[in-house]
Amino acid sequence: MSKNKFLDLIEKQRKEKKREKFKGTFMEYLDLIEKNPDSADLAHRRLYKSIVEKGTRKIEESDPRYTSFFQKENTNIYDYFADYFFGNEKVISKFMRYLKSASAKGEESRQVLLLMGPVGAGKSALVDHIKRSMESKPVYAIEGCPINEEPLHLLPRSLRSKFEDILGVKIEGDLCPVCRHRLMEEYNGQYEKMGVVEKSISIRGRTGIAVVPPVDANTQDTSMLIGVQDISKLDLYSEDDPRTLTLNGAFNKGNRGIVEFVEVFKNEIEFLHTIITATQEKAVPSPGSNAMIYFDGVILSHCNEAEWNRFKSEHTNEAILDRIVKIDVPYSLEVDQEIKIYQKMIGMSDFRDVHIAPHTLKIAAMFAVISRMEESQKCDLVTKMKIYNGEEVIERGRVKKIDVKDLRDEFEREGMGGISTRFIMKSIDAALSDSENETITPISMMKALINQVKDQITDNNFKSQCLDIIQKMVRDEYLKILENEIAKAFISAYEEQARSIFESYLDNAEAFTTNNTVRNRITKEERKPDERFMKSIESAIGITGAARDGFRSDVTAYMFAKMRKGENVDYTSYAPLKDAIEAYLISSVKDIARIVTKSKTRDDDQKKRYSEMMRVLIEDYGYNENSAEEVITYASNNIWRDS
């Protein structure tokens, strides 16, 4: 039974794979092109289309990132990248703009694209993803051609403009020496009889995609780029006979698609000249003594900033610089996007099943983002981080008004340095492998980050800066988040109490404002407003002295206005009062927190409330038993220390 199931799968796949690939004569190919001129697209356009066809959209103006990140520019978002890349939409959009004009055969098609940025900014990952978009796309090539060249090259120059009119395509490029030789020797010049085959672009098969890793000067040899002349064949053939050629260099294999140069400036200058020729003249030298060979491909390269600066400063490199379209690839400066990067990487790792407590990745992301930012006069780094992340920053009851564009424009290089994604992934890995119960928490994350900083960062200045960020800024932010969260979980265990505090505060405040007495809801007894009670609530959010009267009348006016409109009011209706009630209740959290560490004082009621709070943390907020205990203990030691 199961054997047949497997066999079925195998056969089914084999059948599907057998979608008929085109194989025919040049004449049949001309028919094909007449029906479908796109098949003769050049590499840049082929690549552009293969990305665009996956879908595009505009960033919506209602999206907070429209302002905080895109600076109100109507940027295109490409679906092909959207599930894998986060926070570098601007890089992608610049790249696509380059490709678009290159596909229109603009000057850009004769330029090398260079992605420049710090390690771990995603340059290699981007180029990989770009290459993959072309995979399994068909290209048509002269049968047997070592560089898979476009069959239209078979048409003699004198006939080309006529064919261009009929077919609706531009024909450029000359036949490679191998095909030219075969045309003459085997087909007697009758190109219409030569064969054409359909091939699939493939990274592993090195069809239409080639990668050139950096090589050291000693082993550097242009044969890596343009192939070799096989010396052993010189016994059989003359020196200019194309049958002596082995065209397996990167420009040969990557013809019709992409040639990638990894860390391009690690190569010797001589090596780079071939790249320039390939773009400028759309041709590469042939090994041996043959003519140049036409090349149609997208050249993608990447490097880091130090390499770029070194290269740029060399006077002799001007010609090459002129041929480069550089796109900066900075790190993300948005906490939420940075978190998505980690989530993606964890999802792909062996750690995808461990428990990651709430805010854990945020801790790492905050650290990374702050380490990448420049100090501004306009606000502190934590505020800047929040503004970049599209958050409203509230200070003393007001939304802080800082223009995100002003901040962004202040430092051009911001995001080109600081902590890398790889550094963070290493810390996450360390935290995970140190964990005893397959759990990581913000606390173990901070510990792991501190250890990594101490171990890995050699620059003492940067090291102490980093420790400062983690131990002060990130830690403080976390304590605020945690306090808020535990308070919320705690309040839901005290919902009833919050309600009754609210009612009684409102009764008292109204009586105070209208110079009346308060009637007890149960005993109907009339009493003067309870000054002590009101003060204890108000002081929880720092309202003292003369400000109290105003607060009381504000609350009363607000609530009664609502009630007159027939709306329900409860303790959450008026934000300042809600804050006050919660803060008032939170002072009791101290007791709960203490119970965790000093269990002898736990009575039944406290036990009940504690377990209710645990339940909320676990069921509503996504903690597990271990992580919830850990953060509560942390809070009790750091927020609600014995006072």
Residues near ligand ADP (CB under 6 A) are 84-88, 117, 119-125, 332, 341, 344-345, 421-422
Cα separation of 363 and 583, whole Å? 25
Neighbours of 275 (CB within 10 A): 24
Least distance between ligand ADP and beta carbon 209 (Å):
17
Q: Cβ 413 to ligand ADP, closest distance in Å?
A: 16
Pick between residue 116 and residue 486 the one whose CB is nearest to ligand ADP: 116
Count of residues touching Mg ion (by CB under 5 A): 1
Shortest gap between Cβ of 203 and ligand ADP (angstroms)?
Answer: 16
Rounded Cα gap, residues 63 and 533, in angstroms: 44
Give the binding range for Mg ion (CB under 5 A) out of 120-128, 143-151, 445-453, 490-498.
120-128
Classify residue 602 by burial, with Cβ atoms within 10 Å: 0-12, 13-18, 19+. Answer: middle
Among Mg ion, ligand ADP, none, partner that 345 touches (CB below 5 to 8 angstroms by kind)? ligand ADP
CA 580 to chain CA mean position, Å: 40
- Of 264 and 366, which has the nearer Cβ to Mg ion? 264
Residue count of the chain: 643
The least distance separating ligand ADP from the CB of residue 212, rounded to whole angstroms, comes to 15
Rounded-to-integer distance, Cα 574 and Cα 556, Å: 10
Q: Confirm if 282 and 296 have CB atoms less than 8 A apart.
A: yes
Pick what 86 binds: Mg ion, ligand ADP, none; C-beta below 5 to 8 Å, kind-dependent: ligand ADP
124 binds Mg ion (CB under 5 A): yes
Q: Which does 588 bind (CB under 5 to 8 A by kind): Mg ion, ligand ADP, none?
A: none
Give the C-alpha separation, 178 to 280, whole Å. 23
- Based on CB atoms, which residue is closest to ligand ADP, 304 or 439? 304
With beta carbons less than 8 A apart as the criterion, state whether 116 and 261 touch: no
The nearer residue to ligand ADP, 121 or 482, going by C-beta atoms, is: 121
Long-range Cβ pairs for the range 211-217 (8 Å, 24+): 211/250, 211/259, 211/260, 211/262, 212/250, 212/259, 212/260, 212/261, 212/262, 212/267, 213/262, 213/263, 214/262, 214/263, 214/264, 214/266, 214/267, 215/267, 215/271, 217/268
Minimum CB–partner distance for residue 358 and ligand ADP (Å): 22
Classify 20 as helix, strand or coil.
Answer: coil
- Which CB atom, from 84 or from 560, has the smaller least distance to ligand ADP? 84
CA-to-CA distance for 429 and 367, rounded, in angstroms?
Answer: 16
Report the nearest approach of ligand ADP to the CB of residue 531 (Å). Answer: 57
Residue 599 CB burial class (10 angstroms; 0-12, 13-18, ≥19): exposed
Q: Which does 122 bind (CB under 5 to 8 A by kind): ligand ADP, Mg ion, none?
A: ligand ADP
| Residue-wise burial string across 9-44, b where 16 or more C-beta atoms lie within 10 A, e elsewhere | eeeeeeeeeeeeeeebbbeebbebbeeeeebbbbbb
Which of ligand ADP, Mg ion, none sits in contact with 413, Cβ below 5 to 8 A by type? none
Residues 621-640 that bind Mg ion (CB under 5 A): none
- Report the candidate in 376, 408, 374 with the shortest Cα–Cα distance to residue 389: 408
CB of 307 to Mg ion, least distance (A): 12
**Closest residue to ligand ADP using C-beta atoms:** 122
Nearer to ligand ADP, 122 or 177 (CB): 122
Give the nearer residue to ligand ADP in terms of CB position, either 291 or 325.
Answer: 325
Could you tell me if 320 and 276 are in contact, meaning their C-beta atoms sit under 8 angstroms apart?
yes
Partner in contact with 120, chosen from Mg ion, ligand ADP, none, beta carbon below 5 to 8 Å by kind: ligand ADP
Spatial separation of the C-alpha atoms in residues 438 and 455, rounded to whole Å: 24
Residue 142 binds what, of ligand ADP, Mg ion, none (CB under 5 to 8 Å, by partner type)?
none
What single-letter DSSP state applies at residue 393? P
**Residue 196 contact partner, candidates ligand ADP, Mg ion, none, CB within 5 to 8 A by sort of partner:** none
Burial of 402 (0-12, 13-18, 19+ CB in 10 A): middle
- Least spacing, CB of residue 350 vs ligand ADP, in Å: 15
Q: Based on CB atoms, which residue is closest to ligand ADP, 191 or 265?
A: 265
Which residue's CB comes closest to Mg ion? Answer: 124
Nearer residue to ligand ADP within complex by CB, 84 or 558: 84
**Residue (of 596, 436, 337, 641) closest to 444 by Cα position:** 436
For the bound state, the minimum distance from the C-beta of residue 559 to Mg ion, rounded and expressed in Å, comes to: 60
Least distance between ligand ADP and beta carbon 102 (Å): 22
* Residues between 236 and 255 with contacts to Mg ion, criterion CB under 5 A: none
Question: Which C-beta is closer to Mg ion: that of 420 or that of 633?
Answer: 420
Residues within the interface to Mg ion (CB under 5 A): 124
